[in-house]
Structure 1
């Protein structure tokens, strides 16, 4: 394409800012706006960009907005779709031992179910905490986007359809329940360690347990010999 690709960017997290800044440095790209709230989405109706790119946006984009950009709406998700749609994919990759990775996909009216443009698996280790894996996924999102961008800009991408019923999905409420440890529950050692590893994300206090009326927060450090 010889004309500038006009983009509206949706995002708020660290990976999103890295992608946003990288796009702003491209030739033949004009990033018209960075939106972080649901109320700002009307700007897409006003500007009618060629493309919407999302990374870290915390709201579902309505179908009438998705239909506006001629080149579609792309989202970077820190999961190897169709596994771990929704919230906290780094946590569930550890807890449920599902593939960890990152995916660039077209957005549709439901969450993380659109056609896949590109995806990449990210390695996991038993010593990983949720924070370790989260940081690795952020790096992988940025690298995947840079690698795929020339094909996107040229309008030369092939996609993979996500089949209904495949993969996994989690809400924020699932994460909140995971944080509540039961002092009287009997669990396998590996399952408990995986849960604690996944919830360890300093400086945040995630895993918590109540003993004799007092609440304690739990982190874990697993080291390889």
Structure 2
């Protein structure tokens, strides 16, 4: 099975997880290429300066300083670099320009002859011609119990709303946002975890769920779990007022 990963150049969490994923895929599955989107935590493309300003204004100086230092540390530590991880596994980068759905970008991805597209933190909406490039479709990792908490930053929102449980969902991508049928889903007890601890925990479980999904797709032996719109909740990027409510609920970012 030839896999193309669609992800973003996250400096905090994804490098070690993608390393784990590539190391633990079944022997018949091979990552033949990776599209690496620009980091876009706010759901849209913004300049680096705009990202910094928005982070500071929404989350405050302590959060900004903590992640600023982590960002600098990631630049000095090659283990935090997705590019370095991919190079160690001899996985080529697929260079795209602009929207992944363009005819030119689709042609580049198609040249790798993928059987399956795997989206991990993909930050563009995928259109049908792209989804049809791979014979077995496209799956996406979302760290929440879909159909609840569709959208951005589910780890923040489940804590903000004082949920006792969250989860991980791997689903077949359609042209909506987190709307496709679910292939693998795992429930996770939140406990007293900070947001950072919850992200790390669910990302690790997410890699294991992607591996289970690959195995199910390869065997063809699976039953899809519904992801009904009528039961969904959807959240975008938080405001400073949401962050105040997060703290008021006794939650921690790290």
Normalised by the size of structure 1, how large is the TM-score?
A: 0.71
User: Which of residues 4, 11, 24 in structure 2 aligns to 1:8?
Assistant: 4
Greater Rg by CA: 1
Offset, 1:95: 1.6
Structure 1: how far apart are the matches of 2:20 and 2:166? 25
Query: Which secondary structure state, in structure 1, belongs to the residue aligned with residue 201 of structure 2?
Result: helix
CA deviation profile, 1:10-32 (whole Å, cap 9, x unmatched): 11343476246533664222322
Instruction: Show the counterpart of 1:111.
Output: 177
Q: 1:158 to 1:56 in 2, by over 3 A?
A: same
Offset, 1:133: 1.5
Whether contact under 8 Å (1:15, 1:142) holds in the other structure is no
Structure 1: how far apart are the matches of 2:188 and 2:221? 25
Instruction: Show the counterpart of 2:21.
Output: 22
Offset, 1:132: 2.1
CA deviation profile, 1:91-136 (whole Å, cap 9, x unmatched): 11112234410001000111111000010111112x3321122122
Alignment of 1:49-88 (within 5 A): 49-88=114-153
- Structure with more strand by fraction: 1
After superposition, the CA RMSD in angstroms is: 2.5
Alignment of 1:106-145 (within 5 A): 106-125=172-191, 127-145=192-210
Instruction: Show the counterpart of 2:162.
Output: 97
Query: Which secondary structure state, in structure 2, belongs to the residue aligned with residue 36 of structure 1?
Result: strand
Alignment of 1:151-162 (within 5 A): 151-162=216-227
- Structure with more helix by fraction: 2
Whether contact under 8 Å (1:23, 1:29) holds in the other structure is no
| Higher relative contact order (Cα pairs below 8 Å, separated by 6+ residues) | 2
Correspondence 1:176 to 2:228: no
Structure 2: give runs of 5+ residues left out of the alignment. Answer: 38-97
Offset, 1:57: 1.5
Whether contact under 8 Å (1:77, 1:112) holds in the other structure is yes
**Number of residue-to-residue matches in the alignment:** 184
Instruction: Show the counterpart of 1:213.
Output: none
Structure 1: give runs of 5+ residues left out of the alignment. Answer: 182-186, 203-225
Instruction: Show the counterpart of 2:41.
Output: none
Structure 2: how far apart are the matches of 1:16 and 1:160? 29
Offset, 1:153: 2.0
Whether contact under 8 Å (2:146, 2:169) holds in the other structure is yes
Normalised by the size of structure 2, how large is the TM-score?
A: 0.64
